[in-house]
Amino acid sequence: MSYQTILFSNEGGIARITLNRPERLNAFSEQLHEDLRDAIGKVRADSAARVLVLSGAGRGFCAGQDLSERKPVVNGEPRDLSTTLERNYKPLILSLRTLDLPVIGAVNGVAAGAGVSLALACDIVIAAKSASFILAFAKLGLVPDAGLTYFLPRLIGAARARAVSMLGERISADQAAQWGMIWRCVEDGDLAAETDKLAQHFAQAPTRGVALTKQVIDACFDNGLGAQISLEAKLQAELGRTNDYKEGVSAFLEKRAAKFTGS
């Protein structure tokens, strides 16, 4: 299936979505939201998919909301910005966080505004050295949105989150990695190969264990210690019944590499 604003493939357990509006640095249009909804829905429905890789075509990752589609005044009235957040961004961000697969964000270039939210909604973010992150909301008189005020303080702490949100200064990929905002920053020429290596790893990983690891780490921000240990126990009970757990233990005892099937 082909889309107007994204490139999509899903083979060998690896689903790839590349935002493909390079002339606008892959800014979010209505069509892009629609295409992403459809493609992520397909990945969710495909039991053979074991990892999703998100990236951008051209020199940008995603420049946030396409501002030409969100002019401040519509028919003489101020635009209600909450509509697109509720209708488009909230379902998008939640669909990535609730996807039972690891999501790799390969940040190839600038991420601005909701493009930063999209990157931080991924499980593992790897960025090219020349990429950067800009909380452009500050320059428009807006608050960070699409989940950014949830992710950012948790990742880099409130002091840094406040400063970068209020100033809207460019954060280099190196700085983002040093702050723990992303997993790694790599040389530009190594981004594709490093992303592929990660994707190949997850395509052969115990997928259910990875999915529940994603869930349990997300839950830790809302749970107390006792509730979190109980959640670990509940998820472990489920994982103890998987073929992959049996295979992992057998492979260890037989001193051989495990062959996980994701079941």
Q: What is the dihedral of CA 63, 64, 68, 73, to 10 degrees?
A: -150
Report which DSSP code applies to 89. I
Instruction: Count the Cβ atoms, other than its own, within 10 Å of residue 197.
Output: 11
Q: Judged by CB, which is closer to ligand LHQ: 5, or 84?
A: 84
Query: What angle (nearest 5°) sits at the alpha carbon of residue 156, between those of residues 122 and 135?
Result: 70
Instruction: Select the residue interacting with ligand LHQ from 137, 151, 202, 260 (CB under 6 A).
Output: 137
Q: Judged by CB, which is closer to ligand LHQ: 105, or 113?
A: 113
Does residue 261 sit in helix, strand or coil? coil
Q: Shortest gap between Cβ of 140 and ligand LHQ (angstroms)?
A: 6
For ligand LHQ, which stretch binds (CB under 6 A), given 37-45, 130-138, 212-220, 232-240?
Answer: 130-138
Q: Judged by CB, which is closer to ligand LHQ: 32, or 125?
A: 32
Q: Shortest gap between Cβ of 47 and ligand LHQ (angstroms)?
A: 33
Q: Does 112 bind ligand LHQ (CB under 6 A)?
A: yes
Bridge-partner residues for 251, per DSSP?
Answer: none
Among 146, 182, 176, smallest CA distance to 164 is for 176
Q: Judged by CB, which is closer to ligand LHQ: 109, or 262?
A: 109
Q: Shortest gap between Cβ of 187 and ligand LHQ (angstroms)?
A: 20
Q: Does 83 bind ligand LHQ (CB under 6 A)?
A: no
Q: Judged by CB, which is closer to ligand LHQ: 134, or 212?
A: 134
Beta strands 51-56 and 103-107 are parallel
Q: Cα separation of 175 and 180, whole Å? A: 9
Q: Judged by CB, which is closer to ligand LHQ: 136, or 191?
A: 136
Q: Give me the phi and psi of 152, to 5 degrees please.
A: -65, -50
Instruction: Select the residue interacting with ligand LHQ from 24, 33, 50, 208 (CB under 6 A).
Output: 24
Q: Shortest gap between Cβ of 93 and ligand LHQ (angstroms)?
A: 12
Q: Cα separation of 191 and 149, whole Å? A: 27
List of residues contacting ligand LHQ (CB under 6 A):
24-25, 27, 63-68, 70, 81, 84-85, 110, 112-114, 134, 136-137, 140, 142, 145
